[in-house]
Amino acid sequence: MDYRSTRDQHVFISASQAIIRGISQDGGLFVPCRFPCLRKSLEELKELNYQELAAKIMACYLPEFTEKQLKEYAHKAYDGFASREVVPVSQLKNSVFMLELWHGPTLAFKDMALQMLPQLLSGSLTIQQSDKKILILVATSGDTGKAALAGFADVPNTAISVFYPHDGVSAAQKLQMTTQAGENVQVTGIYGNFDDAQSAVKRLFTSADFQQKVEDCGYSLSSANSINWGRLLPQTVYYFWGYFSLCRRGQLKMGDKMNVCVPTGNFGNILAAYYAKQMGLPIDRLICASNENHVLTDFFTTGVYDIHRAFHKTNSPSMDILISSNLERLLYHLFDGGDEKIRELMAALKASGRYSVPDDVRQKMQEEFFVGYCDEENTLSTIRDVYQAESYLMDTHTAVGYHVTRQYQEKTGDKKPVLVASTACPYKFSRSVLTALGGKVSADEFANAAAIEEMTGWKTPQQILDLKALSVRFPDICEKEAMENRILEWIKG
C-alpha cells in the first residue's frame, strides 16, 4: 500500500514515510492509493478483542509492519484504558448507541489515536533506518494537545511542542496541558483561535527555511494532528468495533446497515468513519454534526465553503474550527483523485477564504452525509433532557452529536441504529455540564466536578482529581508570529 499527496499525483511514498512526514511538502495530505476491502472477512473480525481488531485493520494499510508488531502496539496503547473493552457502547432510547471513546488517559477520543501514534512513528523511523530525532508540532483546540503530550512525554528521540488558543479551551483542558510532566515537552498558549494556531503550524511544516533550521538542530518535523495518516488510521478501528458490538447484542444482523453520527471539527473522526465504510463496513448515512461554527453544514448544503463568518467561542470548544483540514481528503476522493482540482480549491481558500464544488460533487456529498448543527442552548438542554430521561450523562461535544442524530431521525424517519461517537468525558467540561444540569456553577472547576458527582453519582475520573495537586509548568502565552522562534530556541536548548 502506497500513499499519495492530495495536491500532487507524482508524490508516491510508503506508509512509514507518510507517518514520519505527517504532511506533504506541497501542503497536501497523504491518502492511501486504494481502500482494502474487508466485506468478506467481517464475520471473522467480529469475535476479536479490541487490540486484535486494531492490529488486523491497521495491517491492511501498513505492509511494512507485521501483524504481531501491530498487536504489541495495540496492547501498549489500549491495555491501560479504564474499560477492559477499551470502547464500551451504551444503549439509549430511540436506537441510539453511544460509542464511548474517552476511557483513555486524557479522557477524550484523541487518546484512541495518540496512544498509538508514538509507536507507529518509532516503528517507522526504524523501517526508514533514520537516526533523526522527531519534533512533533501540534496545534490544538484542547484535546489533541493533552492526548499528544500524554502519548509522547519522555518517548526517546522525540520532542513535542503544543500550541493552544489561550482563551479558547476549557479550564480542565488548560490545566491538563500546562501541568504536563516530561523532559521533552513544551506547551504554549497563543493569542488567537484554533484556526490561527493550525494555519501557523501548517505554514511551518511547509517552510523549507524552518525545516532546515530544525534539521540543523538534529530533528525532523512531524505532526500529531489528524493531518497525519498515523492519526487517522487507528480511528477507523472503533467504527468496526461499534458495529460488531451491535451485532453481538443482536441489534444488527451481520450485513445490516447502521448510521454513524460524529460531532465534527477538523473532519478527522468522521473521515475515519467514511474510510471504514469504503472498506466494506455496512454504514448507511454519515451524520456530520457541527456547533454554531457550522461552516460544514453550510458547505454540504450549498457546495460553497466560505470562512467569511463570525467565529463563535462555544461550549464545545474542540469543534470551534472554520478550516477543517481533513475535508481536503474527502474532496480528493470525491473528485476521484483530482490533485489538480484540489490545488485549485485550496489555493482559492488561501487567497479568498472561499471555494465551491460542482453540482455532481455536492450531490455525492449529500448522498453520503447528512449534516446539521446544534446551538449553545440546545447543547445544554440535550445534556439535561437525556440525563433526566435516561440517567445518562454526556459532554457538550457528544450532546451536539446526539442532538443532530435526533434531527436526522425526525427528518427522515430512518429507524436504523445510530452509532454516535461520544468524544469526551463529561468531566472535561464540568462547567458547561453543571450549567446544563441546573447546578450552581463556581469559578473553581474542581468544585464544579464535585457538584456534578453529587447530583448524578457519576464518578469523577482520577485524572481530573489528580490535576489539583499539580503545579503549572507552562504559563507562557505568545503571539502567533512568535511561534517559530519559541520552538527553535527550545530545541537549541
Ligand X SMILES: *Cc1c(COP(=O)(O)O)cnc(C)c1O
* Number of amino acids touching ligand X (CB under 6 A): 16
Which of 179, 266, 382, 448 contacts ligand X by CB under 6 A?
A: 266
Place of cell 505568545: 478
State in Å, rounded, how far the first CA of the chain is from the last one: 39
Which of 179, 264, 409, 430 contacts ligand X by CB under 6 A?
A: 264
Residues from 121 through 180 that contact ligand X (CB under 6 A): 143
Which of 192, 234, 242, 268 contacts ligand X by CB under 6 A?
A: 268
Cα distances from 118 to residues 115, 154, 159, 182, 293, in angstroms, run 7, 11, 11, 15, 31
Whole-number Å distance between alpha carbons of 11 and 171: 42
Candidate ranges 116-124, 184-192, 260-268, 482-490; the one touching ligand X (CB under 6 A): 260-268
| Helices and strands (DSSP H and E) totals, the chain | 22, 16
Whole-number Å distance between alpha carbons of 364 and 286: 12
Q: Shortest approach of ligand X to residue 225 CB, angstroms? A: 9
Nearer to ligand X, 246 or 400 (CB): 400
Whole-number Å distance between alpha carbons of 120 and 18: 11
Q: Shortest approach of ligand X to residue 272 CB, angstroms? A: 8
Which of 73, 205, 240, 267 contacts ligand X by CB under 6 A?
A: 267
Q: Give, to the nearest 10 degrees, the angle between helix 327-334 and helix 268-278.
A: 30
257 catalytic? Reply is no
Answer yes or no whether residue 226 interacts with ligand X by CB under 6 A: yes
Q: Shortest approach of ligand X to residue 237 CB, angstroms? A: 15
Do the beta carbons of residue 221 and residue 22 sit within 8 Å? Answer: yes
Sheet holding 219-223, edge to edge: 219-223, 133-139, 158-165, 185-191, 477-479
Nearer to ligand X, 98 or 108 (CB): 108
Place of cell 463496513: 281
Residues from 418 through 457 that contact ligand X (CB under 6 A): 423-424
Whole-number Å distance between alpha carbons of 473 and 179: 5
Q: Shortest approach of ligand X to residue 97 CB, angstroms? A: 17
Number of other residues whose CB lies within 10 A of the CB of residue 357: 20
Answer yes or no whether residue 111 interacts with ligand X by CB under 6 A: no
Nearer to ligand X, 96 or 330 (CB): 330
Nearer to ligand X, 5 or 226 (CB): 226
Residues from 71 through 110 that contact ligand X (CB under 6 A): 108, 110
Which of 24, 170, 176, 269 contacts ligand X by CB under 6 A?
A: 269
Q: Active-site residue among 40, 56, 110, 341?
A: 110
Answer yes or no whether residue 202 interacts with ligand X by CB under 6 A: no
Q: Shortest approach of ligand X to residue 419 CB, angstroms? A: 15
Cell triple for 62: 501498513
Q: Shortest approach of ligand X to residue 410 CB, angstroms? A: 23
Which of 174, 202, 397, 431 contacts ligand X by CB under 6 A?
A: 397
Q: Give, to the nearest 10 degrees, the angle between helix 327-334 and helix 359-368.
A: 110
Nearer to ligand X, 19 or 108 (CB): 108
Nearer to ligand X, 288 or 491 (CB): 288
Whole-number Å distance between alpha carbons of 282 and 414: 15
Residues contacting 366, CB < 8 A, separation 6+: 300
Q: Shortest approach of ligand X to residue 463 CB, angstroms? A: 15
Question: Dihedrals φ, ψ of 158, to 5°?
Answer: -130, 155
Candidate ranges 7-15, 123-131, 266-274, 364-372; the one touching ligand X (CB under 6 A): 266-274
DSSP state of 169: S
Residues from 317 through 346 that contact ligand X (CB under 6 A): 318-319
Whole-number Å distance between alpha carbons of 79 and 119: 14
Q: Shortest approach of ligand X to residue 421 CB, angstroms? A: 8
Do the beta carbons of residue 271 and residue 227 sit within 8 Å? Answer: no
Residues forming the site for ligand X (CB under 6 A): 108, 110, 143, 226, 263-269, 318-319, 397, 423-424
> Which residues form the catalytic set?
110
